[in-house]
Amino acid sequence: METRELVQKLEGIQTIESVMDILKVNKQMAIYYIHRLRKEGYVKTKKQSNNIRVYSISLNNKLRGKSYYEIINLYSPIKISTPIIYNIYGKEISLEETLIYAIKTKSLRTILASLALFKKINDWKKLYHLAKENNVERQVGALYDLSHKIIKVRRMNNKFRNNALPKEKDKFEYIIQGLKSNDFIDIEKKWKVYIPFNKKDLEGYK
């Protein structure tokens, strides 16, 4: 079956069972078709509260860009619901770009959710370049050390850490203006960056 015909048959919100019913195929073939369409960009997947996966299938999915929020929600247990539609067209959004974007939003929940990205980030050279470009090297370092306390993350590149750590003359900076931590003072002192979260704020990662 050609891709366009397949998408037209399955247009809308589907489950594996509904795909089986529409295409008159077994479960294995239904999973194959979903995988094929997802790989080509026609499927967006969501997990419902009952852990059942639902698939939004549309020709438009391939045409529209992805948003930073979609990337964060893909990896984080803390989901972001936002009325802002800010899609990036014509290129793949990297996790490194998404993390910097989250920090720049100055949004408590967005930054909190973005901590999960450290589980997947491995291009530390790119991350450092973006962080330096946006003057948030120390903020990235502090948030990495915070994420390390609550989830299993990939090891930070030593070059990133050495370049990002504050000098003696550097003053304290905020991630979100006016917000300090009562529980992560050690990280704050190390990076000279005030953490906007306390332990209770991180319970969503348990």
pLDDT tens digits along 27-42:
999 999 999 998 888 8
pLDDT in the model for residue 44 = 85
The H or E element spanning position 43 is strand 43-47
CA distance 23 to 6: 9
Q: Are residues 190 and 102 in the same domain?
A: yes
User: What average pLDDT does this structure show over 126-143?
Assistant: 97
* 97-126 as b/e: b if 16+ CB within 10 A: bbbbbbbebeeebbbbbbbbbbeebeebee
Q: Are residues 34 and 70 in the same domain?
A: no
Q: Are residues 56 and 119 in the same domain?
A: no
Q: Are residues 95 and 172 in the same domain?
A: yes
Q: Are residues 119 and 146 in the same domain?
A: yes
pLDDT in the model for residue 52 = 85
Phi, psi angles (nearest 5°) of residue 46? -130, 150
Confirm if 123 and 94 have CB atoms less than 8 A apart: yes
pLDDT band at 196 (very low <50, low <70, confident <90, very high): very high
Domain with 38 in it: 3-63
Domain stops at, among 63, 84, 102: 63
Q: Are residues 75 and 57 in the same domain?
A: no
Instruction: Check: pTM over 0.75? Answer yes or no.
Output: no
Domain stops at, among 44, 63, 82: 63
Give the CATH number for residue 56.
1.10.10.10
Domain stops at, among 15, 39, 63: 63
CA distance 206 to 34: 31
pLDDT in the model for residue 81 = 77
pLDDT in the model for residue 89 = 53
Number of domains in the chain: 2
Closest C-alpha to 6, from 25, 63, 52, 89: 25
Bridge partners for 174 per DSSP? 194
Q: How do residues 58-98 score in pLDDT, each as one tens digit?
A: 877 775 567 888 889 889 999 887 655 555 555 678 899 99
